[in-house]
Amino acid sequence: MRVNLTRTAWSRYTSVSPSNLADVTPPDDASDPKSADVKKGWARGAATRGLVALPLVAGLVTAGWLLSGGTGHPTAVAPPTPRPEVAANTIGGGAGPSVLEVSSPVQAQEPAKAGSQLETWAQGLSGPLEVPAQSLMGYATGELTLRTEQPACHLSWVTLAGIGKSTAADGRGGPLKLSAQQWKRWGRDIPGTTKPSVTNVRDASIAAGRALCATGADLGGGNGWWDAIGKYESSPLFRQQVLGNAQLYATLSLDPAKTNAPSTRATRFALGQLGLPYVWGGNGPDAGAAGFDCSGLTKASYEDAGVELPRTADSQFRSVPSVPASQPPQLGDLVFYGNAATNIHHVGLYLGNGLMINAPTEGQAIQIHTYHSAGDDYVGAGRPAS
């Protein structure tokens, strides 16, 4: 879908700004973009709140992602006033439509505490997660150390792994992308080593955990997780990458056999596009475009996994097997919006824990959003391949 906005397209990574990943600015006069995929306007982007903690991956809230009703010209809706967080089983919560549904908790596999067990755990997950076993042991050691030093923080190895996979701004070093100031403050007195090194994943994981937990936040979910990652590194793209990769690791830690499934491969591809601009009709850099539109992203993601999809959201909806309405979407499922009888105008790729990877609209980057809220025009999910 597409909405004309008063912004220019964003290039990849370095020029992604907070507004690009957080809000759509309402235009003074939004004209009809003549897109067959457009029937409704998307309002705000996500201000994502929450993520993973062991032994649970906390239910995650994404505030401010809203579908406006009506047909004809797309409308950019002004963002509502932020509302208090509501209980996990509440939709709307009496606080208005900006409060979105919280997904059910997802258990993540917990690292063993003993040394030999920890190595066995890391070796078993290294291949499925595509993370070196030594790195997994370092991330798990960071979690286990912070369980002792700051148990109320609820730091997860999955969060550290997400940081390790993500792209950080210039001037950060080592596998956990620590700034010089962070390492100087938190890299001292590392248990089990006399000369801590920022390039050692074990030492860096402990220092990174200390930096994250120094905010006083509970990283088990809610605003605490999102704020802690933002204080660790202020880049909105960095937070999106940590969020997406950590969620993928949590999902695969529960079901390592899915690592080679087309749905997982498509999800990995889509996560790699975070930060690219929305481009109406765009099929991505390999096809000569700066970015993707919604169905261009889903098509390219599954093509990378060896599965061919039609080009538009509507044709994808009508060609892939439907997920029964009684079942929640799974990793890699396509989630559709519109009217099943007449036109599907938008599609995203389900990430898990109530989230989708989404190319929202012109003027925004590819990013992670909550996939479904009360009152939106979510139609259902489709499964191109398991």
Residues 102, 93: contact at Cβ < 8 Å? no
3-state DSSP: the chain helix, strand, coil percent, rounded to 5? 35, 15, 50
CA dist., res. 18 & res. 313, Å (int): 28
At residue 349, the pLDDT reads 98
Domain end: 254, 273, 290, which one? 254
pLDDT of 64 above 60: no
- Is position 7 within any domain? no
* 293 vs 104 pLDDT, higher one: 293
**Cα 362–Cα 364–Cα 370 angle in degrees, nearest 5:** 115
* Residue range 7-28, pLDDT digits in tens: 222 233 233 333 355 432 222 2
Domain end: 226, 254, 282, which one? 254
Q: How many CB atoms lie within 10 A of CB 237?
A: 26
* Residue range 339-372, pLDDT digits in tens: 999 999 999 999 988 899 999 999 999 999 999 9
HEC sequence for 300-324: HHHHHCCCCCCCCHHHHHHHCCECC
Domain containing 58: what range? 18-106+261-382
Kindly state the percentage of the chain with pLDDT values over 90: 61
Whole-model pTM: value is 0.76
Residues 343, 282: contact at Cβ < 8 Å? no
Q: What are phi and psi of 221, to 5 degrees?
A: 150, 175
* Residue range 288-337, pLDDT digits in tens: 999 999 999 999 999 999 999 999 999 999 999 999 999 999 999 999 99
- Is position 11 within any domain? no
Q: Are strands 106-107 and 178-179 parallel, antiparallel or unpaired?
A: unpaired
Q: Are strands 334-339 and 343-352 parallel, antiparallel or unpaired?
A: antiparallel
The CATH number of the domain holding residue 32 is 3.90.1720.10
Q: What are phi and psi of 284, to 5 degrees?
A: 95, 170
Domain end: 254, 283, 300, which one? 254
Sorted by sequence, the CB contacts under 8 Å of residue 380 that are 6+ apart come out as 322, 323, 325, 335, 336, 340
- Is position 8 within any domain? no
* Residue range 206-264, pLDDT digits in tens: 999 999 999 898 888 667 888 899 999 999 999 999 999 999 999 999 899 999 999 99
Distances (CA, A) of 52 to 220, 285, 305, 328: 6, 32, 27, 19
